[in-house]
Structure 1
Amino acid sequence: MFAISLGDDGAELTPLEPRHAEEFLAHIDRGREFIGAHVGLPDVVTDLDTSRAHLRRYADKAANDAGYLYGIRVDGTLVGGVMFRIFDTESELAEAGCWVEPGYAGRGLVTRACRVIIDWAIEQRGIHRIEWHVSSANTPSIAVARRLGMRRDGVMRESYPYRGKRADMEVWSVLAPEWRADKAS
């Protein structure tokens, strides 16, 4: 299995696969309330079977070049993740997403991991547009989008039914020429 260093603090980016189901469930359980404040992952991954099924869905997406899932590890412990929920090389569009346990929020792990996958998608895979869909209430995730050089395209008002309420969803994006210009400066 490959691991990409995310800095000198013991953080790495690694693939998440069905064989990691127990570890993935334990990770979600540690951050269930925090992660679930804005992200539906804890509602999907509730036991070992659903953990394995979620990881299998992404393994199938990866096999079809349609989505990817990566873990963020610190000193070998799974503490968060990043993904391409959508990855479409024909339309040159991808949608990135993330989550992290509460004890690891605010350390720049998600931003660093997203930089790695976005750079790969643009430079190696020819993706032109990377989108970031985020609840307007999720200010930490919006801050990540800003740090990644994304621009807010707009707000889809009350478009996301989540836990009995309707949330406004913002769409942020970065285009390949913008990404390259930001890297060069």
Structure 2
Amino acid sequence: MTAKAQAKAEVRQPRWARKSTLVLAMVLLAFILFGTTTQTWIDVRLDPTAVSNSDLHVPGNKAATAVTALALVALAGGLAASIAGRIARWIIAVIIVVSAAGTILAAATVLGDPLGAAQGSIAAATGVSGGQAAVSTTVFPVLAVVAGALLAACGVLLPIAGRYWKTRTKYDAGRNGKERGAGPVDEIDSWDSLSRGEDPT
């Protein structure tokens, strides 16, 4: 393929399908998910006569412990996608989608039953389990749901976008360049050629 034809092929590549764009999006969304777990998800108003401090703020990593772990799994998957091959990208895509779905479910559970999600923290603060309190959720579990949904969408797009990506390894790039007569290869590619019984000169 000539340089002009290659440039024309790159122009046809959708912006969303660029490796840098998709990988960066997955990494940022995973960071956002992780970041939400460090913030307050549930504000609890305890009975002022029961304890000296009647205000309790439950962070995401206490209200929905699974979100932290799943966000880290998605982050690792997003980073691995940048160097993965075609089959590995499918596996990573499944992992990311499942992780994102898990975070959505966990965050939605908190939104649906904030008192139940806060019971562990309430029991730790008061020494009484199953107690009643006035609770309200913050914006962070909603943000986790949105970030999880976008992350799942990126996971679905990963195998599709991977079709546009160039050869991922220096070895393959050097070999393909040699086959096209693109000029001399470096010392590593020369050594690989010798290992295959070829004369790199």
Q: TM-score band, normalised by the shorter chain?
A: under 0.3
Which has more helix, going by share of residues?
2
Higher relative contact order (CA 8 A, sep 6+): 2
Which has more strand, going by share of residues?
1
Q: Larger Rg: 1 or 2?
A: 2
TM-score by length of 1: 0.22
TM-score by length of 2: 0.21
